[in-house]
Structure 1
Amino acid sequence: MLIRDVEVEAQGRVDVRVAAGRVVEVGARLGGRTGIDGRGGALLPGLHDHHVHLAALAAESASVRVGPTDVPGSEGLAKALGAGAPGEWVRAVGYHESVAGALDRAALDALVADRPVRVQHRSGELWVWNGAALRAAGLDDTGDGRFWRSDERLRAGLPPTPLDLKGVGRRAAARGVTGFTNADPHPAAGLRALLRSLPQRLTVLGLDRAAPVKIRLDDLTLPTPDDLAGSVMRARPRPVAVHCVTRVQLFVTLLALDEVGSVPGDRVEHGAVIPAEALDWLRRLGVTVVTQPHFPVERAAAYETDVAPDDRPHLYRCGTLAAAGIPVAAGTDAPYGTADPWEVMHAAAGRQGPEGLTPRAALGLFLGDALAPGGPPRTVAPGAAADLCLLHVPLREAIKELSADCVRAAFVGGRAV
C-alpha cells in the first residue's frame, strides 16, 4: 500500500509505503500508480489509549446514563430508571452523589420498585441494587444493596449484558485509536478472547506476559508498605501498575518500590493526588505515571466538594510531571471518563497554570508505545508497525484544534479500520 503526499513530522510532505504490516519506505515521489492520496494531511502513529476498561465501555450501549450531566436531580433519575417495560432489568452507569445524594436499596426502591435496577457509581467501584434486583438474582434483600468491588461475585446472578464491541472499535478507529491497554484489576481469563473482535491492537494488564501486573489499592484495606512490597516481588520480574487515587496510596506505593527496587515498565495508574514532595521520588524511581488530565475539567464541580482542599492543587498532575522529568502518559479511563482521547488532549492543553501542556505535548500523551507509555513517541519510519492515523489537515492545524474531526482514517498493520 502506498500513502501519497502526507506530512510526516520532521520529514515534510512525503510518500509512505507499507508492506507486510510495516512501514517499509518513506520518501519523496515513491514509485507506484495506485494508493491513497493524503492531500497534505498529517500521517501520525496511531493513538494508543493507555488506560481503558473495554468490556465496561462496550456495555454502555445497553446502559442508562445517570451522571450529573445526564439527569436533573432525583426526579430525572426516577424517570430515567423507570423507562422501559416493568420487570425488565435496568443497568445504569455514571452516578454521582451530586445527582440525588448517596444511594442505597431503600433510596432506589423509593425511586423505582417495579423492575430490577442496579446503578454503578461513576468511580466504577460501587454498585447499588434495589430490592427487585436483589430478589431476581436470589440475593438477600435485607441489606443496603451496596456492593463495593464485587463485580465477579455479582455477575453469576445477572442476565448477560449485550456488549457493543464492534461499536467501540468503530468509534475508536474514527478517532485514530489503533491500540488499547485494558486496565481491569482482575481480568477474567477469557477477556482477551472476548475482545478479539476489536480491530485495534490490545494489551491486557495482568494477562499479557510482557504487560505490567495491575495492583489496585483501597484506603479501607490498604496494605503496609512491606505487604505491598511482597505483592510487587511476587509479580517480578514483570513490572507493576499500581492504582493510586489518594495521597496515602501513592506514598505506600513509593515506599514499597523503594524497598524492592523499580524495574522498567513500573507504572502509577491515575496519580490522582501527587504532592509536590513526591516528584523527586517518582523521578528517582523512574516510574511512569499514566494519568487522566481531563478529570479536573470533567469533574470540576464535584471535586470542589468531594476533594479535601489540601489535595486540590495536586489533582491529576500533568505539566509538572513532564517538567520534573517523570514519564507521563494518558488514558481515557473510559467508560468512567470520555472515550475520546482528543478531548483528553484538549483538556490537558487547556488547563491553567503549571499543569497545562503545549498542544503538541498533549498529543504525545497518546503516542507512546503500549509497553513504554511516556517513553519516546512512536514514529512513522521504516521498520515501524503500520499502525497509523491519517488526518485531513497538516499537524500545525490539528494541534490547534485537538479534535477527532481532524481524523480521516486509521490503519492497523497497514489495514484500514
Structure 2
Amino acid sequence: MLIRGAEVWRHGRADVRLAGGTIAAVGTLTPLPGEPVIDAQGGLLLPGLHDHHIHLAALAARRASLDCAKIRDEGELARLLRAPGTGWLRATGFDEGATGGFLPDAEMLDRIVPDRPLRVQHRTGRMWLLNSRALSELLVAGPPPPGMERAGDRFTGRLFDEDAWLRKALGSTPPDLGAVSVELARHGVTGMTDMSPRNDPAFARHIAEQRAGRRLLQPTVLAGALTLALAREDGWRIGPLKLHLHEAALPDFDEACGTVRAGHEQGRAVAIHCVTEVELVFALAVLETASAVPGDRIEHVSVAPSELVARMRALGLQACVQPHFIAEHGDRYLRDVEPRHHRDLYRLATLRDAGLVLAGGSDAPYGSANPWQAMAAAHARTTAAGLPIGPDEALSPEEAVALYLGDGLDLSRERRVAVGAAADLCLLDRSWAEASVDLAAVTVSATVVAGHVVHQRIDEAPGVRLARAHSPA
C-alpha cells in the first residue's frame, strides 16, 4: 500500500509505502503495478495513537448500559431508569450531585424500579447501587461480601469495591470488544494498554481470542495482577504490575513493598494508581523502600504538590496523565477540592519540566475515549464552564499529541513514521497547521494497523480515496 502526498509527522511532505506490516519506504515514491493507493491530500500522517490507560471490558459494558452522566435531578434519574424490558437493568456514570449529594439506597431505587433487578454504577467505578430485586438475586449466589453495606439488620444496596464478587455472583463473562475496537480505530488509536488491576490469565485468554477472531483490531498491552505472568496465549503483551491504591483502605505498607518487589522480579515495571495526595505519598514511600526501576510509573497523578513531584523525579518515575479530566470534571474540582490544591490538579508542564516522561491515557470508560479531546484539554486547561485550572500547566499542541505517541512498553520512546517501524498509522483530514489550531475538531481519515486499513472515512469529499493505482503509461 502507498500513502501519497502526506505531511509526515516530524518529517515533512512525503509518500509512505507499507509492506509486510511495516513501513518499507518514505520519500518521493511511484506506485507499483496494482498497488493500493491512499491519497492523503496533504493530511498529517502520524504514528498510530496509543491509549496508555484504558479499561476495555468496562468500556464495552458501559456501551450496553444506560448512561447517568448527564442526569441533573431525581426526576431525570427516574425517567431514565424506567426503561421498558425485563431482566437485569444496568446503568453507569451516576453522580450523587443529581440527588442532592445523597447516594440512593435500595429503598429509593425500589420506588423507581420495583419489578426488575437494577444495578447503578457510581461515576468512580468503585460503587454499585442495588435495588431489592438485585440484592435478592445476588445473595442467592452466596454470602454477602465485606463491601456490602449494612444499616442495622438490613443491606442498604450499596456495594463498595466488590466487582470480583459481583462478577462471580452474576456468572459474568468478559464482553465482546468489537464495537469498542472500531470506536477507538475511528479516533486513530492503533494500540492500548489495559490498566485494570484484576487482569489475570483468564482475561488474557479473552484478549487473545478477540484478537484471533479480529474482534479486537489493535495490539494490546495488559497491565494487571502478578498472575498475568502465568498466561501463555499469544495476541497480547504483558505490561506493568498494577497497584490500585485507595486512600480509605491503604494496603499494609510491608505487603505493598513486597508486591512491588515481586513485580520487579518478574521483569515488570509497576504502575500505581494515585488520585489523592495521600495515595501519592504512600506510593512514593513504597517505591523508595522497594527501590524503583526504570519504567515504574504513577497513574493519574491527580494531586501533585511540588515537593512530591521532586520525589518522583528523584526516583526516575514516569507519569500517565488524563488531561481531559480538567475539561470533564474541572468545575466539580473547583467546587469540591481544597483551594490550596487547585494548582496541583493534573499537572502537566510541571511534570515535564521536572524531566518526567509523560504519556496520555483515557481511563475510559471513566473518561472520554477520544484522545483528540484529551489533547485539546492538555493545551487549553479550562473547565466545561470555561474556567482556567493551572493555565501554566498547559502543553503545546505538539507536546499534547506526543502524549499518545509513546511505545506501549517504553513510554520514553516516541514512535516515528520511519522505515522499519510498524505500519500502525493515523492519517488526518487536515495539515498540522490546521489541526494544531483546534485539536478537538480533528477528524481521522484513515487508521492503519499492521499495514491494514481498519478505519476509513469515506463520507465526504475530497476525503481519502482508496483506489487501485495503474502502471505508468
With normalisation by structure 2, the TM-score equals 0.83
Tell me the residue number matched to 2:343.
313
Number of equivalences: 413
Question: Where do residues 7-406 of structure 1 align in structure 2 (5 Å cutoff)?
Answer: 7-33=7-33, 34=35, 35-67=37-69, 69=70, 71-85=71-85, 87-100=86-99, 101-139=102-140, 142-158=154-170, 160=172, 163=175, 165-195=177-207, 196=210, 197-206=215-224, 207=228, 210-237=238-265, 238-351=268-381, 352=388, 353-373=391-411, 375-403=412-440, 405-406=442-443
For 1:7-33, what per-residue CA distance to the aligned partner results, in whole angstroms no more than 9, with x for missing partners? 113332111111111112111134525
| Alignment partners' CA distance in 1, 2:330 and 2:89 | 28
SS at match of 1:124: coil
SS at match of 1:135: helix
Q: Residue type of the partner of 1:84?
A: P
Q: Residue type of the partner of 1:414?
A: G
Pair 1:3-2:40 in alignment? no
Q: Post-superposition shift, 1:61?
A: 2.2
Which moved further from structure 2: 153-162 or 316-325?
A: 153-162
CA RMSD of aligned residues (A): 1.9
Q: Post-superposition shift, 1:404?
A: 6.1
For 1:219-240, what per-residue CA distance to the aligned partner results, in whole angstroms no more than 9, with x for missing partners? 2221354432222112113210
Which aligned segments of 4 or more residues in structure 1 are displaced greater than 4 angstroms? Answer: 159-162
| Alignment partners' CA distance in 2, 1:222 and 1:317 | 24
For 1:325-381, what per-residue CA distance to the aligned partner results, in whole angstroms no more than 9, with x for missing partners? 1111111111111111111111111114211111111111111110122x2321000
Q: Post-superposition shift, 1:190?
A: 2.3
Are the counterparts in 2 of residues 225 and 253 from structure 1 also a CA contact under 8 Å? no
| Alignment partners' CA distance in 2, 1:337 and 1:269 | 14
Are the counterparts in 1 of residues 21 and 423 from structure 2 also a CA contact under 8 Å? yes
| Alignment partners' CA distance in 1, 2:20 and 2:279 | 45
Are the counterparts in 2 of residues 128 and 146 from structure 1 also a CA contact under 8 Å? yes
Q: Post-superposition shift, 1:200?
A: 0.8
Q: Residue type of the partner of 2:131?
A: N
Pair 1:408-2:438 in alignment? no
SS at match of 1:143: strand
Q: Residue type of the partner of 2:27?
A: G
| Alignment partners' CA distance in 2, 1:28 and 1:174 | 28
For 1:80-109, what per-residue CA distance to the aligned partner results, in whole angstroms no more than 9, with x for missing partners? 111113x42110100111111222222322
SS at match of 1:154: helix
Q: Residue type of the partner of 1:111?
A: I
Q: Structure 2: where are the runs of 5+ without partners?
A: 145-149, 230-236, 382-387, 455-473
Closer, same or farther: CA 97–305 of 1 in aligned 2, 3 Å: farther
Are the counterparts in 2 of residues 398 and 406 from structure 1 also a CA contact under 8 Å? no
| Alignment partners' CA distance in 2, 1:210 and 1:159 | 26
For 1:249-293, what per-residue CA distance to the aligned partner results, in whole angstroms no more than 9, with x for missing partners? 111111111122211211101111111111111112111110111
Q: Residue type of the partner of 1:244?
A: C
Are the counterparts in 1 of residues 221 and 238 from structure 2 also a CA contact under 8 Å? no
Q: Residue type of the partner of 2:95?
A: H
Q: Structure 1: where are the runs of 5+ without partners?
A: none
Q: Post-superposition shift, 1:136?
A: 2.2
SS at match of 2:436: helix
For 1:32-84, what per-residue CA distance to the aligned partner results, in whole angstroms no more than 9, with x for missing partners? 253222211111000001101000111122100112x2x23001101111111
